[in-house]
Amino acid sequence: MNIKIYAIGKVKDKNQLNAIKEYDKRLGRYCKIEMILVKNKEMLLKKLSYKSYVIKVSTEGELFTSEGLAEKIKTLGVSGTSDMAIVYSEEDIKWDEHLAVSKMDMSLGMFMTILFEQIYRGYRIIHNQAYHK
Protein backbone atom coordinates (compact mmCIF):
# COMPACT_ATOMS: atom_id res chain seq x y z
CA MET A 1 0.00 0.00 0.00
CA ASN A 2 1.14 3.53 -0.81
CA ILE A 3 0.00 5.97 1.83
CA LYS A 4 0.40 9.71 1.44
CA ILE A 5 -0.52 12.12 4.20
CA TYR A 6 -1.15 15.66 3.00
CA ALA A 7 -1.47 18.86 4.97
CA ILE A 8 -1.07 22.58 4.55
CA GLY A 9 1.62 24.00 6.80
CA LYS A 10 4.96 23.09 8.33
CA VAL A 11 6.29 20.87 11.08
CA LYS A 12 9.16 22.71 12.73
CA ASP A 13 9.53 20.96 16.08
CA LYS A 14 12.60 18.72 15.94
CA ASN A 15 11.18 16.22 18.44
CA GLN A 16 7.93 15.87 16.54
CA LEU A 17 9.94 15.25 13.38
CA ASN A 18 12.00 12.63 15.22
CA ALA A 19 8.84 10.87 16.41
CA ILE A 20 7.46 10.81 12.86
CA LYS A 21 10.81 9.58 11.53
CA GLU A 22 10.85 6.72 14.05
CA TYR A 23 7.41 5.43 13.00
CA ASP A 24 8.30 6.00 9.35
CA LYS A 25 11.29 3.70 9.85
CA ARG A 26 9.21 1.05 11.61
CA LEU A 27 6.59 1.22 8.84
CA GLY A 28 9.18 0.49 6.15
CA ARG A 29 8.50 -3.25 6.28
CA TYR A 30 4.74 -2.80 5.85
CA CYS A 31 4.04 -0.01 3.38
CA LYS A 32 5.29 3.03 1.53
CA ILE A 33 4.36 6.14 3.48
CA GLU A 34 5.06 9.76 2.79
CA MET A 35 4.24 13.06 4.48
CA ILE A 36 3.50 15.81 1.97
CA LEU A 37 3.36 19.34 3.34
CA VAL A 38 2.29 22.16 1.04
CA LYS A 39 1.93 25.93 1.30
CA ASN A 40 -1.71 26.43 0.30
CA LYS A 41 -4.91 24.90 -1.04
CA GLU A 42 -3.94 25.31 -4.71
CA MET A 43 -0.77 23.32 -4.12
CA LEU A 44 -2.73 20.71 -2.21
CA LEU A 45 -5.23 20.22 -5.04
CA LYS A 46 -2.41 20.06 -7.56
CA LYS A 47 -0.54 17.35 -5.63
CA LEU A 48 -3.52 15.28 -4.59
CA SER A 49 -4.26 12.34 -6.83
CA TYR A 50 -7.93 11.44 -7.00
CA LYS A 51 -6.98 7.98 -8.19
CA SER A 52 -6.24 7.36 -4.53
CA TYR A 53 -8.79 6.51 -1.90
CA VAL A 54 -9.12 9.93 -0.25
CA ILE A 55 -9.70 10.23 3.48
CA LYS A 56 -10.29 13.73 4.69
CA VAL A 57 -9.51 14.27 8.37
CA SER A 58 -10.77 17.23 10.37
CA THR A 59 -12.42 17.80 13.76
CA GLU A 60 -15.80 17.64 12.00
CA GLY A 61 -15.34 14.12 10.67
CA GLU A 62 -16.43 10.82 12.13
CA LEU A 63 -14.35 9.48 15.02
CA PHE A 64 -12.73 6.13 14.34
CA THR A 65 -10.92 3.44 16.32
CA SER A 66 -7.45 1.93 15.87
CA GLU A 67 -9.08 -1.40 14.96
CA GLY A 68 -11.30 0.42 12.45
CA LEU A 69 -8.29 1.93 10.73
CA ALA A 70 -6.56 -1.47 10.60
CA GLU A 71 -9.69 -2.97 9.04
CA LYS A 72 -9.83 -0.13 6.50
CA ILE A 73 -6.20 -0.64 5.42
CA LYS A 74 -6.78 -4.37 5.12
CA THR A 75 -10.02 -4.05 3.15
CA LEU A 76 -8.56 -1.52 0.72
CA GLY A 77 -5.59 -3.82 0.15
CA VAL A 78 -7.81 -6.80 -0.54
CA SER A 79 -10.01 -4.83 -2.94
CA GLY A 80 -6.94 -3.88 -4.98
CA THR A 81 -6.73 -0.21 -3.97
CA SER A 82 -3.04 0.50 -3.68
CA ASP A 83 -3.07 4.24 -3.00
CA MET A 84 -4.47 5.90 0.07
CA ALA A 85 -4.41 9.66 0.52
CA ILE A 86 -5.06 11.12 3.94
CA VAL A 87 -5.72 14.85 3.88
CA TYR A 88 -5.64 16.85 7.09
CA SER A 89 -7.59 19.90 6.17
CA GLU A 90 -10.68 21.97 6.85
CA GLU A 91 -10.72 22.81 3.14
CA ASP A 92 -13.50 21.69 0.86
CA ILE A 93 -12.07 18.78 -1.09
CA LYS A 94 -13.53 15.70 -2.74
CA TRP A 95 -13.29 12.74 -0.37
CA ASP A 96 -14.29 9.10 -0.10
CA GLU A 97 -14.43 9.24 3.66
CA HIS A 98 -14.37 12.00 6.27
CA LEU A 99 -12.84 11.07 9.62
CA ALA A 100 -11.74 12.74 12.86
CA VAL A 101 -8.86 11.86 15.14
CA SER A 102 -10.28 14.11 17.86
CA LYS A 103 -12.80 16.89 18.43
CA MET A 104 -9.86 18.88 19.74
CA ASP A 105 -7.42 20.99 17.76
CA MET A 106 -3.79 20.00 17.74
CA SER A 107 -0.53 21.03 16.13
CA LEU A 108 0.26 19.67 12.70
CA GLY A 109 3.29 17.79 14.07
CA MET A 110 1.10 16.17 16.73
CA PHE A 111 -1.43 15.10 14.10
CA MET A 112 1.29 13.60 11.90
CA THR A 113 2.83 11.73 14.84
CA ILE A 114 -0.57 10.27 15.72
CA LEU A 115 -1.32 9.24 12.14
CA PHE A 116 2.07 7.57 11.62
CA GLU A 117 1.76 5.81 14.99
CA GLN A 118 -1.80 4.66 14.26
CA ILE A 119 -0.92 3.33 10.82
CA TYR A 120 1.98 1.44 12.39
CA ARG A 121 -0.42 0.13 15.06
CA GLY A 122 -2.85 -0.78 12.28
CA TYR A 123 -0.29 -2.99 10.54
CA ARG A 124 0.66 -4.62 13.85
CA ILE A 125 -3.04 -5.42 14.35
CA ILE A 126 -3.44 -6.76 10.79
CA HIS A 127 -0.42 -9.03 11.30
CA ASN A 128 -1.48 -10.09 14.80
CA GLN A 129 1.72 -8.73 16.27
CA ALA A 130 1.92 -7.50 19.82
CA TYR A 131 1.98 -3.80 20.39
CA HIS A 132 2.18 -2.15 23.74
CA LYS A 133 -0.22 0.50 24.90
Q: Which residues of 44-83 are buried (b: 16+ CB within 10 A; e: fewer)?
A: beeebeeebbbbbbeeebeebeeeebbebbbebeeeebeb
Which of 8, 114, 124, 126 is close enough to bind other proteins by CB under 8 A?
A: 114
User: How distant, in Å, are the alpha carbons of 12, 21, 112 from that of 9?
Assistant: 10, 18, 12
101 binds other proteins (CB under 8 A): yes
Which region, judged by CB under 8 A, interacts with other proteins, from 25-33, 35-43, 73-81, 99-107? Answer: 99-107
Taking residue 113's Cβ as centre, other Cβ atoms within 10 Å add up to 22
Of 28, 50, 63, 90, the one binding other proteins by CB under 8 A: 63
Q: Which is nearer to other proteins, 46 or 132 (CB)?
A: 132
- Interface residues with other proteins (CB under 8 A)? 13, 15-16, 18-19, 22, 59, 63-66, 68-69, 101-107, 110, 113-114, 117-118, 121, 130, 132-133
